[in-house]
Amino acid sequence: MVTYQPGKEKRSICMIRIVDSLAEITRYQDRELLERSLVTTLSELFIDAEFRLYRVMMTEGILELALLAYASKGAIVSEARPRQRHLPPELFEAISDAIISKVVIERRIDESSLINIIYPVYNQRDEIYGVLLHATAQPSFETQRLTYGLLRIYSNYLALLEDSQRDKLTNVFNRETLDAEITKRIISFTQHTHQNHNSIRRRDDEGYYWLCLLDVDHFKNVNDTWGHLYGDEVLILLARLLEAIFRKEDPVFRYGGEEFVVIFRTFHLDDAQSVVERARKSIEKHSFPGVGQVTVSIGAVQIFDQDSATNVVDQADKALYYAKTHGRNCSHFYAELLAAGLIEKSQVQLYTSSVDFF
């Protein structure tokens, strides 16, 4: 005779839900979808709790948080924000404590009925990557342990995903990831533009995205004079230099050969020009071991409502070509060159172009 065991059935159902959750989290190849899936899955498992995932950034020694995903009652509540400006000071301090101590921290803010559980998230190099904020009225050891376990799986899978998106020589993002990153920013611009009348102010508050395409001047001479090993070393050091010049949230890509791409955010054209010129001058002043001075030419463009990612890159490439043919070691912006009549308008045609960028 088979004896009914309700407790055993409940555990089996719970295990099935956990396995389904793991399958859901790891089915995505896109980092943003992975992050949304993580917080949504946690919210479905613990329906009375709220989950927020933040990216941790250090800007000039100051801790900043960017909201990646926020879920409640099993659904995404809001889209990601470039900066988090409205966290209570006590909660922000608790997040800082969790990051410094590298341990999970519980903190009740003011007289709120919710307890905030803060989980710091680290990458494979033991560098702080993000913070998960879990707000619940009834914290339990089982809930925390399962959440922590899912976070470890997320962190490990994210590491595998990022490895597949990295250039093998320089370890910056590879060309295959660039198209998707540009497309996301075109969509973001379009969504803001078509929102209500406050959208212009919000866009001014958050800034605009810009893309700069950098090419090492006379790189063939480096390879011919010192050899390909020194040429590879220049590319590796240049990648590290770009990561140091730009902010942590500004992705750097190796576009191909001696060309790199950086996507960054700033407010106006003057600001973008200052950023690009600062990068160019920093590279010019840097001494590369065995080679000495290396310079770059830069073409830049604002990412707004272009037809495609290919069109964005083509516009930057036209500005870069102008820089390469007008002295090198300089930077030019596509919009300014176009307005001055110095270049022709980009005419990239989707699906019919003979040029394969990606």
Residue 127: pLDDT above 60?
yes
Tokens of 103: 């341990």
Q: Give the model's pLDDT for residue 63.
A: 83
Of the listed ranges 27-36, 97-106, 214-223, 328-337, the one predicted with least confidence: 27-36
Domain spanning 6-163 has what CATH number?
A: 3.30.450.40
The confidence score (pLDDT) of residue 89 equals: 87
* String of DSSP letters for 81-139: -S------HHHHHHHHHHHHHTS-EEEE-TT-SPEEEEEEEE-TTS-EEEEEEEEESS-
The model's confidence at residue 50, banded by pLDDT at 50, 70 and 90, is very high
The amino acid occupying position 159 is: A
313-333 burial, b for 16+ CB within 10 Å, e for fewer? bbbbbbbbbbbbeeeebbbbb
Mean pLDDT calculated for residue range 278-290:
97
What's residue 122's pLDDT? 84
Q: Which residues are tagged catalytic? A: 258
Task: Domain ranges for the chain, please list them.
Answer: 6-163, 175-339
The CATH number of domain 175-339 is 3.30.70.270: yes
The mean pLDDT value for 13-40 works out to 77
The DSSP output letter for 174 is: -
- Give pLDDT, residue 9: 42
To 10 degrees, the CA torsion angle through 116, 124, 260, 335?
Answer: -10
Which pLDDT value is given to residue 354?
Answer: 34
Residue 3 reports pLDDT greater than 60: no
Average pLDDT over residues 326-352: 84
Q: How confident is the model at residue 314 (pLDDT cuts 50, 70, 90)?
A: very high
- In tens, the pLDDT along 135-180 reads 998 888 888 998 998 898 888 888 888 888 999 999 999 999 999 9
Look up residue 177 and give its DSSP letter. Answer: G
CA-closest candidate to residue 130, choices 49, 206, 74, 52: 52
pLDDT band at 338 (very low <50, low <70, confident <90, very high): very high
Confidence of residue 84 (pLDDT cuts 50, 70, 90): low
Highest mean pLDDT among 43-47, 120-124, 191-195: 43-47
Q: Is the pLDDT of residue 60 over 70?
A: no
Residue-wise pLDDT tens digits, 217-267:
999 999 999 999 999 999 999 999 999 999 888 999 999 999 999 999 999
